[in-house]
C-alpha cells in the first residue's frame, strides 16, 4: 500500500452546519468510480458533498436541522414552559464505489476499510446531534417560571442558542480529533480487517 496515496486521501470528514430527542434520518449516496487509489481520490474530491463551511468537497457529510416545539402555560402571576420537544432531521451522505471486476485486492481492502470508517464517522455526528437535542429538551423544561410568556420565550431562545452553540463546538472538535488520527486509524483498521480475512471471519476483499 502506497503510504503517500493513503495520506492524500486524508480528507476532512465533517458535518455540514445547520440550523435530536426525536430523530429523523435519511441516507443518500454519490457514486465513486476508478480502479486505483488515485482514481478513488479524484472521484471523492470531484463527486463528494460540498461543505459550505470549508468550501470544499468531502468523502462524507451529514446535514442537520433542529426543530424545537415549545408550549407555554400562563397563570395570573407567571408563565412557564409546559412542554418542549426537539427533533433533529439529518441526511447522511455517503460514497458508493462502482467496484470494477479486476480491481486490485489491496484497493478493495482499502475501500472496504475507508467506506466503513466514513460511515462510522458520520453516524457519530448524528449521535452528537441527538445527545445535544436531549440536553436542549432537558434545559428548556428546566427553565423556571417567568413573569410573562414573552420573558419565557426570550429565556427559551437564549437557552436554545447556547446549547446549539455547544453542539457546533462538539462537532468541530470531533472532526479535528478524527482528522489528526486519520492515517493511523485507517492503517490500524486495515490490519485488523486483513487479520479477520485471514482468520476466515470476513470474506476476501
C-alpha cell of 37?
487509489
**Residue 159, SS3?**
helix
Cα separation, 186 vs 110, whole angstroms: 8
What does the domain layout of the chain look like in residue ranges?
Answer: 3-198
**Cβ distance 183 to 87 under 8 Å?**
no
- Read off the pLDDT of residues 118-158 as tens digits, 9 standing for 90 and up: 999 999 999 999 999 999 999 999 999 999 999 999 999 99
Cα separation, 205 vs 194, whole angstroms: 9
Q: Taking residues 184-200, what's their average pLDDT?
A: 74
Question: Considering only 2-6, 107-111, 170-174, which range has the smallest mean pLDDT?
Answer: 2-6
**CA distances from residue 78 to 45, 151, 153, 198 in whole angstroms, order as listed:** 56, 10, 12, 69
**CA distances from residue 192 to 160, 172, 176, 187 in whole angstroms, order as listed:** 42, 28, 24, 9
- Read off the pLDDT of residues 79-97 as tens digits, 9 standing for 90 and up: 999 999 999 999 999 999 9
pTM of the predicted protein model? 0.80
Amino acid at each position: 500500500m502506497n503510504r503517500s496515496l493513503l495520506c492524500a486521501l486524508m480528507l476532512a470528514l465533517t458535518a455540514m452546519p445547520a440550523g435530536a430527542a426525536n430523530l429523523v434520518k435519511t441516507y443518500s449516496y454519490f457514486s465513486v468510480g476508478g480502479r486505483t487509489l488515485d482514481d478513488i481520490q479524484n472521484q471523492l474530491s470531484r463527486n463528494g458533498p460540498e461543505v459550505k463551511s470549508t468550501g470544499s468537497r468531502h468523502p462524507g457529510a451529514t446535514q442537520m436541522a433542529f426543530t424545537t416545539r415549545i408550549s407555554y402555560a400562563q397563570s395570573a402571576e407567571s408563565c412557564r414552559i409546559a412542554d418542549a420537544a426537539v427533533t433533529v432531521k439529518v441526511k447522511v451522505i455517503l460514497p458508493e464505489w462502482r467496484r470494477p471486476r479486476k480491481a486490485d485486492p489491496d484497493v478493495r481492502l482499502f475501500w472496504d476499510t475507508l467506506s466503513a470508517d466514513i460511515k462510522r464517522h458520520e453516524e457519530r455526528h448524528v449521535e452528537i446531534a441527538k445527545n445535544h437535542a436531549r440536553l436542549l429538551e432537558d434545559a428548556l423544561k428546566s427553565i423556571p417560571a417567568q413573569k410573562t410568556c414573552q420573558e419565557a420565550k426570550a429565556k427559551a431562545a437564549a437557552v436554545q442558542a447556547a446549547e446549539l452553540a455547544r453542539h457546533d463546538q462538539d462537532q468541530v472538535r470531533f472532526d479535528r480529533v478524527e482528522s489528526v488520527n486519520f492515517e493511523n486509524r485507517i492503517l490500524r483498521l486495515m490490519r485488523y480487517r486483513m487479520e479477520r480475512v485471514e482468520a476466515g471471519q470476513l470474506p476476501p476483499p
